[in-house]
Amino acid sequence: MSEPQDEPSAPAGLSRLLARRRNAAPEPVVDAVIVTGQVLPPGSPSGIRTAPAADPKAQTAALTRLFAHAHEPLELLRAFGNGMASLHGELGDMGRRLQSAHAAKDWEAYARALRQLIDKYIRTIDVDDPLAGPTDAEKLRDLLRQTLAGALASLLHSAPDLAAEAEALGGGLRQWRPGQDLSGLAQRLRELCHQIGVRSGDSQEQQVLLLGLFDLLLENVGELLDDSSWLQGQISVVRDLISGPLDQRSIEDARLGLREVIYKQGLLKQGIAESKLAMKQMMMSFVDDLNGMAVTTGEFHDRVSGYSLAIRDARSISDLNKLMQDVLQDTGRIQQQAARARDHLIAAREEVDAAERRIQSLEKELSDVAGLVSVDQLTGALNRRGFEELFQREAARTERSSNPLCAALLDLDNFRLINEHHGHPGGDAVLRHLVDVSRLMLRATDGIARFGGEEFVILLPDSSMTESVSAMNRLLRALSVRPLVYEDARIFVTFSAGVALRAPGEGADTLIKRADKAMYEAKKAGKNRVVSAG
């Protein structure tokens, strides 16, 4: 018998609940077939059968038949209870409670069961609401699409095929809707991540090889230069930069420092070249004067020989007088020219001496400017090159005297938070403040060097381990009572430090590594403290 076309369908909430139970637990389904208007008692098998497998169409038909004759409120409540009782598990128990309450006309108990059903199950059902905005799945889809097609594709500019695949995946995610199959997109995304990992490893390896090649080239250029050459300093800065972790700030600081040094060195080189050219021109002028004097002297010698012959052939006193006057005139001219040549020689000598002094002054200034690469431009402390030179001097001295030599590695605490709250200018002010206070508290023989970022190394000659640890603790206390005032804010600066005593013959790298290990122990112990290396 065909079903009437105008029979009421199952309520939407119950259909969703039944569908949710089907998706969550594919167990044998209890199908209800109710053909009479009688209420089934709790636990009664009458009118209820268990099917090994449930067909969605059959379940929908069963629900349709269940609510077909429920035209009145009481009939609708009875049909709803019978429908709930046909389910298995906790929902079936709740349906039997609804049946009992309906049979006893205990509407308060029926209402309590309904509230429990609503609170526990129906409130968790997603209801499509066009005014509610995108769902969480759709928001996640849009974020993933923007990550792939926007950020990731722009980062993969060096790999056009991977960038195109990232954009294609973004386009695929744009078309996806909740409930659709994601297996194809997921497989493509996994493959893209795998290819990015492979290409990233290759790119990092190429970067390491290029940096190694560049370092080798700089080393070879340095071997060709004299140790006192001003280029040695610049080469050392670049080699120190590429040997450590690269970041935009350290590269920019090195670039600005080198540009300033190169500009000053260009001016000084130009001055030296001009002084050397002037000295060359003076020497050439003096040589020309000497040549002219030699020519004139030769001519005078020839004239004197002529005068000798004329005197021998002279026949009267008047002829001799005339010849004497000519000889005196020529001799006077020679004397004048000799005096001018002497004056020119003296002036040239003075100018040469002045040019030599100028060259020496400029070369010294050039050497001093080249020495700027041993100093950190931001804080005024030594940089790595300056520290290495200081360590070599102090290590050689302590080897001869057998005195102790300690190194302390300092790392500022919470420096990233300082940059976030006060900006990079505030962070730079903190670095300068640490160096200034350190110079006030340390001895003149101690040296402080910036090793990059917020790390500093303090070299303490002629200090035992106990004395060096005490010096670092004094520096901590000094910083605690001398906060930095920056833009009307008080910034308290602390650091974690590790102190290591140099062993005989120990190099700088090994010493710093031991101090670095102790510094990390200070960090783990709570920061703002000093730990000695074992």
DSSP element (H, E) containing 509: helix 508-524
List pLDDT tens digits, range 301-313: 666 677 677 766 6
Structure token digits, residue 366: 């050039």
Structure token digits, residue 418: 């300082």
290 and 274 housed in the same domain: no
Residues with catalytic roles: 454
- pLDDT band at residue 180 using 50, 70 and 90 as cut-offs: confident
Structure token digits, residue 42: 């709790």
Q: What integer is the mean pLDDT of 276-296?
A: 67
Backbone angles phi, psi at 11, to 5 degrees: -55, 145
Partnered with residue 50 across adjacent β-strands are 30
404 and 523 housed in the same domain: yes
Task: Identify whether 229 is part of a domain.
Answer: yes
Residue pair 114/14 in contact by the 8 Å Cβ criterion: no
- Rounded CA separation 466/197 (Å): 49
Q: 123-132, 237-246, 374-383, 389-398: which range is least confident on average?
A: 123-132
| 525: pLDDT strictly greater than 90 | yes
- Rounded CA separation 424/182 (Å): 44
261 and 354 housed in the same domain: no
List pLDDT tens digits, range 218-267: 777 666 666 555 566 667 767 776 666 666 666 666 666 666 666 666 76
- Per DSSP, the three-state class of 137 is helix
Residue 175, domain extent: 136-208
The CATH number assigned to the domain holding 472 equals 3.30.70.270
List pLDDT tens digits, range 193-219: 888 877 777 677 777 777 777 777 777
List pLDDT tens digits, range 351-386: 767 777 777 776 666 666 555 567 887 888 998 888
| 491: pLDDT strictly greater than 90 | yes
List pLDDT tens digits, range 13-54: 445 544 544 444 444 333 333 333 334 444 444 344 444 445
Q: What is the DSSP string of 455-491?
A: EEEEEEET--HHHHHHHHHHHHHHHHHS-EEETTEEE
Q: Give the domain-ending residue among 245, 279, 313.
A: 279
Q: What is the pLDDT of residue 115?
A: 83
Looking at the 3D structure of the chain, how many domains does it have? 5
Amino acid identity of residue 498, one-letter, is G
Residue pair 243/215 in contact by the 8 Å Cβ criterion: yes
Q: What is the pLDDT of residue 12?
A: 46
Residue found under tokens 């010294």: 364
Q: What is the pLDDT of residue 43?
A: 42
287: number of CA atoms within 13 Å, CB side? 6
272, 460, 268: which is closest to 372 by C-alpha? 268
| 498: pLDDT strictly greater than 50 | yes
446 and 483 housed in the same domain: yes
Q: What is the pLDDT of residue 112?
A: 86
- pLDDT band at residue 438 using 50, 70 and 90 as cut-offs: very high
172 and 218 housed in the same domain: no
- pLDDT band at residue 133 using 50, 70 and 90 as cut-offs: low
Q: Give the domain-ending residue among 208, 238, 253.
A: 208
Residue found under tokens 């990092």: 204
Q: Which DSSP state fits 129?
A: -
The better pLDDT of the pair 21, 83 is held by 83
470: number of CA atoms within 13 Å, CB side? 5
520 and 388 housed in the same domain: yes
Task: Identify whether 54 is part of a domain.
Answer: no
- Rounded CA separation 311/313 (Å): 5
Task: Identify whether 528 is part of a domain.
Answer: yes
Q: What is the pLDDT of residue 132?
A: 54
Q: Which DSSP state fits 372?
A: G
Task: Identify whether 176 is part of a domain.
Answer: yes
Q: Which DSSP state fits 176?
A: -
Q: For residue 200, with 0-12 CB atoms within 10 Å meaning exposed, 13-18 middle and 19 or more buried, which class applies?
A: exposed
514 and 418 housed in the same domain: yes
Task: Identify whether 182 is part of a domain.
Answer: yes
353 and 403 housed in the same domain: no
Structure token digits, residue 251: 């590269």
Q: What is the DSSP string of 304-350?
A: HHHHHHHHHH--SHHHHHHHHHHHHHHHHHHHHHHHHHHHHHHHHHH
258 and 312 housed in the same domain: no
518 and 391 housed in the same domain: yes
Q: Give the domain-ending residue among 315, 339, 369.
A: 369
Residue found under tokens 């609510």: 67
466 and 527 housed in the same domain: yes
